[in-house]
Structure 1
Amino acid sequence: MTTRSFPYVTLDVFTDTRFGGNPLAVFTAAEGLRDAEMQSLAAEMNYSETTFVLPPADPANTARVRIFHRTAEMPFAGHPNVGTGYVLAGLRPEAGDVLRFEEIAGLVEIRIARDATGNAVGAEIDAPQPLTVLGTLPVAAIAPCIGLVPADLVTTTHIPTRASVGVDFTLVEVTHDALARALPDIATYRRVAEAHLGAGDRLSIFLYARDGNSIRARMFSPLSGTWEDPATGSANATLAALLLSILGGDEARFDVTQGVEMGRPSTLRLRAWRAANGIRASVGGSCVPVLRGAATL
C-alpha cells in the first residue's frame, strides 16, 4: 500500500515569545488530502485551527487555504491567515510582501511584516467581508452562558451583538472584574444556541473590557471544541468594525491583549475603516516558529 507524506509546521501567532499566543498547524503542501483527512488531522493536532495550503484556482493569487477547527471547516479565521502568511513568506520568498489567499468567505489579503534584515516576523490581514450585524441576543441569556450575571455586562455602547466580517461572533462588553471571572457553562450554551440560533449552530462568545483604545479580551466557543481561545483574530477584527460603526469616525485603531487567563498572552493590533462597500477591518501581529514534521497517511 502506497503511503503519502504531508509536511507541516507549527507556530505561535500574535506573540514574539515561543509558547505564548495562539498555536497553529500549517500543512504546507496539502494537495491530495481528502476533506475527511483534513478534518481528522485538524482534530488530531487539537489546536483552535489547522490550515491546509493548496494551489490557487486563479494563478494570480498565492494559494487556496482551507481552515479547519477540531470539528468543522471554517470560511475564514484571523490567526490562521496571519500564521499561514508568515509561513509561506518564509517558504516562498518570490511571492513578495503581499499574499492573497482564496477562502470560502472570499479573497484574503495578507501583508507580511519584516525585520531590518528582511526576515518575516508577522503579518497583517484584511478581513474578507465588510461588517454585517446579524442581530442581538438578550443579556439575560448570554450572561449565564459565561458564568456571569446581567450586572456584569456593560451595555452602554451596545448589548450582546452578533456580527461578522467573515465568521459569526457574539460580541459582549463586560466589566474588567467580570472578564477575569468568566467561565462557560456548556449546558446553558447549548440551550441558548438552540433557542436563539437554531439547534447545532455555532455560538462563539467574545468578551471584552475596554479602556479607550486598549482592550482586554477572552473568547469561548465550547460547542465547536474550543473551550477558550488565546487569540481570535476574526473576532477582534469584527469588534473593531462594530466599534467604529457605533462610535463614529472614519478610522479606528485598537490594541488588544487576549489569552492572559490561559497563560498564553497574545497581542493583536486592529484597524477599522470606512470603505465604499461598508466598514472593513484588519488584524495583525507577530509569529514565532515552534515545530516541523510530516504526517504519513
Structure 2
Amino acid sequence: MRTYAFETVDVFTQTRFGGNQLAVFTDARGLSDAEMQSLAAEMNYSETTFVLPPDDPADTARVRIFTRSHEMPFAGHPNVGTAFVLARHGRDRDGLLRFEEIAGLVEVKVARDASGEVTGATIAAPQPLSTGIELPAEAIAAAAGLAPADVVVANHKPVRASVGVHFVLAEVTAEALGRATPDLSHFRVVRNAHPGLEGRFSLFVYARDGANIRARMFAPIGGTWEDPATGSASATVAALLLSLDGGDHAAFTLTQGVEMGRPSLLQLTAQRSADGIRATVGGSCVPVFQGEALL
C-alpha cells in the first residue's frame, strides 16, 4: 500500500472554517493522472493540488491543480494555499517560490508576521489580461437567476476574460448580488449556444464600490455550485477594471463567500507592463487538517 501525505488549509481568511478550502499533496511523485483526479474528487473541494519536482531546478515545484472533474491550467487560491503550506515546510527561497504550471510560471511572495510565522502569500498571475467573446446580458441574467436589468452593462458587457484561466465576468447591481442563484439548465444553454466558451462556463458576478468589490462565482457545470473565493477570477477582474479605468496601476479589496458563510478577503493589484496588464492576488491562510491517503 502506498501512502501520500496531505494538508488542508483555508485560503483568503484569518479565521479557520472561513475562506476557500484546499487540499495539498506535498509530494505527489508516483501518482498517476487518474489517481490525482480521483483524489481530488474524493477530497470534494473546489480544487486540490499535487506538488511534484520542477522541470527547472531554478523553480520550486511543478504544481498540478485538479477540480472534482478536471485539471486546471492555473487557479488563484490553490497557488496561495500551496505556497503557504510549502513555505511552512521551509521550501521558499528568501520568501519567494516559483511554481511551474500549465498556464506558465507562477511567482509567489510569502507573507510572514513579525515573529517570522508564515501567514499567507501573494501570487502573480502567469499571463497578461486577455479578453474574448461578449455574451448577452439576458443570457447571463438567466444563468444567475436574475433579471436582465440586474446586469450592469454601462462599463462593460459580460465578457470572457483570463489571466491564466477563463471566466465570464459580469457586473451586477449591489442589491442583485446577494440574491443571485445559479440555474444549471440556463448555464448549459449559454455554454451550448456560444462555441467561444470552448465547452466551459464559469460565471463571476461582482458589484463595485470604488476600490472595494463584492463578488460571487458559480460553476455548476463543473461541480462547483458556488465558490467562496476565486483568486484567478478576482485577479482577472482587477486587470479588466484597470483596462477600463485607465492609469498604470490599481489596487482593490475583494470580498467573496459571504452568502456561503465562508467570508473571504482578497487583496488585488493590476499594473500595465510591456506585454499587457498584469495582476496579483494575495491573502491570508489558516492550517486545518493533516492526513494520509492510502492507495
Counterpart secondary structure, 1:181? coil
2: CA distance between counterparts of 1:240 and 1:226?
23
Match 1:232 to one of 213, 217, 230: 230
Give the percent of matched residue pairs that are identical in Structure 1 and Structure 2: 66
AA at the equivalent of 2:148: P
Contact 1:89 1:96 in 2 (8 A): no
Counterpart secondary structure, 1:88? helix
Aligned residue in 2 for 1:245: 243
Counterpart secondary structure, 2:111? strand
Shift of 1:94: 5.7
Aligned residue in 2 for 1:111: 109
Over aligned residue pairs, what C-alpha RMSD do you find? 1.0
Shift of 1:92: 2.2
1:144-159 pair list within 5 angstroms: 144-159=142-157
1: CA distance between counterparts of 2:75 and 2:253?
19
2: CA distance between counterparts of 1:94 and 1:218?
32
2: CA distance between counterparts of 1:200 and 1:235?
17
* Post-superposition CA distance 1:132-191 (Å, at most 9, x none): 011210111111001011100111110101100000000000011100110011011001
Aligned residue in 1 for 2:60: 62
Aligned residue in 2 for 1:87: 85
Aligned residue in 1 for 2:279: 281
2: CA distance between counterparts of 1:42 and 1:266?
22
Aligned residue in 2 for 1:166: 164
Is 1:201 aligned to 2:199, yes or no? yes
Moved more, 255-264 or 196-205: 196-205
* Post-superposition CA distance 1:222-254 (Å, at most 9, x none): 111100000000000000000000110000000
Q: TM-score, normalised by structure 1?
A: 0.98
2: CA distance between counterparts of 1:94 and 1:86?
10
Aligned residue in 2 for 1:27: 25
Aligned residue in 1 for 2:13: 15
Match 1:71 to one of 62, 69, 72: 69
Q: Which runs of 5+ in 1 are unaligned?
A: none
Match 1:123 to one of 114, 121, 124: 121
* Post-superposition CA distance 1:249-296 (Å, at most 9, x none): 000000000000000000000000000010000000000000000001
Aligned residue in 1 for 2:257: 259
Aligned residue in 1 for 2:215: 217
Shift of 1:215: 0.5
2: CA distance between counterparts of 1:228 and 1:7?
28
Shift of 1:93: 4.7
2: CA distance between counterparts of 1:103 and 1:137?
29
Residues matched between the structures, number: 295
AA at the equivalent of 1:37: E
Counterpart secondary structure, 1:43? helix
* Post-superposition CA distance 1:44-65 (Å, at most 9, x none): 0000100000000000000000
Match 1:179 to one of 177, 180, 187: 177
Counterpart secondary structure, 2:178? helix
Counterpart secondary structure, 1:95? coil
Contact 1:194 1:200 in 2 (8 A): no
Counterpart secondary structure, 1:107? strand
1: CA distance between counterparts of 2:75 and 2:197?
23
Q: Which runs of 5+ in 2 are unaligned?
A: none
